[in-house]
Amino acid sequence: MIEAVGLTKRYGAKTAVHNLSFQVRPGTVTGFLGPNGSGKSTTMRMILGLDVPTSGSVTIGGYPFAKLPNAPRQVGALLDAKAVHGGRSARLHLLSLAQLAGLPARRVDEVLGVVGLQDVARKRSKGFSLGMGQRLGIAAALLGDPQVLLFDEPVNGLDPEGILWVRNLMKQLAAEGRTVFVSSHLMSEMALTAEHLIVIGRGQLLADMTVKDFISANSADFARVRTADTEPEGREKLTAALVEAGGQVLAEPGGALRVTGVPLPRISDLAHDADVRLWELSPHQASLEEAYMRMTQGAVDYRSTADQRAGLMQADPYAQGYGYGATPPQGQGWGQPAQGWGQPGQGWGQPAPGNPYPTLTGEQPNPYAPPQPAQAPAAPPAGPSAPAAPAGAPATAPADLTKRDSEDAR
């Protein structure tokens, strides 16, 4: 079992993990979720003794990792599949690890067969694909037949067959009574693999519960109801009956109704009483991804400026211009006509007069364009013709004459 108590890690002024406490129990696959930069990798490194906590503690089977006798036989981990000497073959890489742990060479061949790399065992790892590197990293984690296993993004780079293999492997390891701790960003895969979740955001614990409880606590279940398209009055009658029964009804695209606050059997009874035919009555439960997004939407550090247009975040009141978190004025946003990309005469590829290097409308001239030849200033609008200057007259007119001629021209 892995147990963290008040785990905190600071790097100068930045706090990566703050007062984190949780338990990872044997016999189940525990998913470790959180946005990028939330402290997952730092937490795993502290579990394995690679980083020293600023405060708090984390133990494996009651002992810090550094005090575990023959740790490779008790704990296996995949943190970085690229942490392999590229000049070594897969077999030599595993053989060196086996010798350090006092394991026989036959164990190397066993795990190569488990991960499916037996045919490329003598090829140099620098020629491995991303998926093959992941398999080699998993083989290294399994080498000592440990009771505790930690995996950071184990399906990264794997094809669908490989993902299915990893999923079944995790479940099999947990069924054998081992402690399996898996970090991943693939919510659909976590929903199929993990039974328990630990979710963190900005270094702090957000949730520690089963997958089922997590989805239930962070989503709103509803029923989808559809009536006959040829009977719009029936839809109105059913809506009125549902609202009267205390339900909330929202219209969906395509003519369906989204109903909350009324159980499915009660919806059926109300439709029967109102003499309304139902074409669809189905329950809907949010996915793990939907529940995760709802839980962590306030703990995301790196977010596209387009996200706030989808309602995922509030506009940053301190944002200036068009930078992070800013909302463009009307007519300047995504897909707005006459101002967006590709509008004739407005976007890239439309040179300014006399300048073959285009600029965006409203911006300063391209600072990387070569300097353009100086151009003579445009002639002023033609006015009444002035009499020709007599021979011998000075080339420059007196100031008062120039001013008078200019006024005449206007």
Residue 302: the pLDDT is: 66
- Tens digit of each residue's pLDDT (9 = 90 or more) over 18-46: 999 999 999 999 999 999 889 999 999 99
Last residue of a domain, which of 233, 266, 284? 284
> Has residue 392 been placed in a domain?
no
Percent of the chain with pLDDT over 70: 73
How far does CA 23 lie from the centroid of its chain? Answer: 26
The answer on 162 and 20 residing in a single domain is: yes
> CB–CB of 133/84 below 8 Å?
yes
- Look at residue 236 and tell me if it is in a domain: yes
The residues facing 2 across adjacent strands are 24, 60
Predicted TM-score (pTM) of this structure = 0.67
In a shared domain, residues 84 and 200: yes
Res 211: pLDDT: 92
User: What pLDDT is recorded for position 306?
Assistant: 65
Q: What is the 3-state secondary structure (H, E, C) of the chain?
A: CEEEEEEEEEECCEEEEEEEEEEECCCCEEEEECCCCCCHHHHHHHHCCCCCCCEEEEEECCECHHHCCCHHHCEEEECCCCCCCCCCEHHHHHHHHHHHHCCCHHHHHHHHHHHCCHHHCCCEHHHCCHHHHHHHHHHHHHCCCCCEEEEECCCCCCCHHHHHHHHHHHHHHHHCCCEEEEECCCHHHHHHHCCEEEEEECCEEEEEEEHHHHHHHCCCCEEEEEECCCCHHHHHHHHHHHHHCCCEEEECCCCCEEEECCCHHHHHHHHHHCCCCEEEEEEECCCHHHHHHHHHCCCCCCCCCCHHHHCCCCCCCCCCCCCCCCCCCCCCCCCCCCCCCCCCCCCCCCCCCCCCCCCCCCCCCCCCCCCCCCCCCCCCCCCCCCCCCCCCCCCCCCHHHHHHHHHHHC
Measured at the alpha carbon of residue 199, what is the angle toward residues 195 and 202, in degrees to the nearest 5? 170
Q: Which two tokens stand for residue 8?
A: 């905190």
Name residue, tokens 């900005």.
202
User: Which one of 245, 268, 284 terminates a domain?
Assistant: 284
Same domain? 25 vs 120: yes
pLDDT tens for 343-376 read: 343 333 444 444 443 433 334 444 444 444 444 4
Name which of 117, 137, 118, 163 is nearest 76 in CA terms.
137
**The pLDDT of residue 303:** 67
> Which pLDDT belongs to residue 229?
83
Same domain, 168 and 243: no
- 41-50, 123-132, 244-253, 299-308 — which one is most confidently predicted on average? 41-50
Q: Does one domain contain both 148 and 6?
A: yes
Let me know whether 196 and 233 are in one domain: no
Is 326 a residue whose pLDDT tops 50?
no
The predicted structure's pLDDT at residue 347: 39
User: Using CA atoms, how far apart are residues 97 and 88, in angstroms rounded to an integer?
Assistant: 12
Distance CA 85, CA 352 (A): 54
pLDDT at residue 410 greater than cutoff 80: no
25-29, 285-289, 307-311: range with highest mean pLDDT: 25-29
What CATH number should be reported for the domain holding residue 6?
Answer: 3.40.50.300
For the chain, the domain total comes to 2
- Residues 249, 196 share a domain: no
HSE (side-chain half, CA atoms, 13 Å) at 15: 11
Strands 148-152, 14-24: pairing kind:
unpaired
Residue pair 176/103 in contact by the 8 Å Cβ criterion = no
Q: Alpha carbon of 172 to those of 101, 150, 190, 314, 322: distances in Å?
A: 24, 15, 15, 44, 51
331 pLDDT more than 60: no
* Same domain as 241, residue 116: no
Same domain, 80 and 99: yes
* Residues constituting the chain: 410
Query: Residue 140 — φ and ψ, nearest 5°?
Result: -65, -35
Q: Does 349 fall in a domain?
A: no
Task: Label residues 332-362 b or e (16+ Cβ within 10 Å = b).
Answer: eeeeeeebeeeeeeeeeeeeeeeeeeebeee
Answer whether residue 78 is part of any domain. yes
In the predicted structure, residue 185 carries a pLDDT above the cut 50:
yes
Distance CA 133, CA 80 (A): 9
| Mean pLDDT score across all residues of the chain | 79
- The verdict on 109 and 37 lying in the same domain is yes
Query: Is 145 in the same domain as 261?
Result: no
Residue 300's CB: how many other CB atoms inside 10 A?
A: 18
- pLDDT at res. 237: 92
**Residue corresponding to tokens 């909330």:** 248
Of 162, 180, 210, which residue sits at a domain end?
210
Query: What average pLDDT does range 227-248 have in this prediction?
Result: 90
Q: Are 149 and 180 in contact (CB under 8 A)?
A: yes
CB-CB contact of 69 with 60 (8 Å): no
Q: What is the pLDDT of residues 138-153, one digit of tens each?
A: 999 999 999 999 999 9
Question: Tens of pLDDT along 254-264?
Answer: 889 999 889 99
Q: Supply the CATH number for residue 246's domain.
A: 3.30.70.870
Domain annotation covers residue 37: yes
Name which residue leads in pLDDT, 285 or 350. Answer: 285
Q: Same domain, yes or no, for 84 and 232?
A: no
114 in a domain, yes or no? yes
Rounded to whole angstroms, how far apart are CA atoms 274 and 239?
10
Q: How far apart are CA 269 and CA 274, in angstroms?
A: 9
**Is residue 239 one of the residues assigned to a domain?**
yes
Residue 363 lies in a domain: no
Q: Which domain holds residue 62?
A: 2-210
User: Over 50: is that where the pLDDT of 403 sits?
Assistant: no
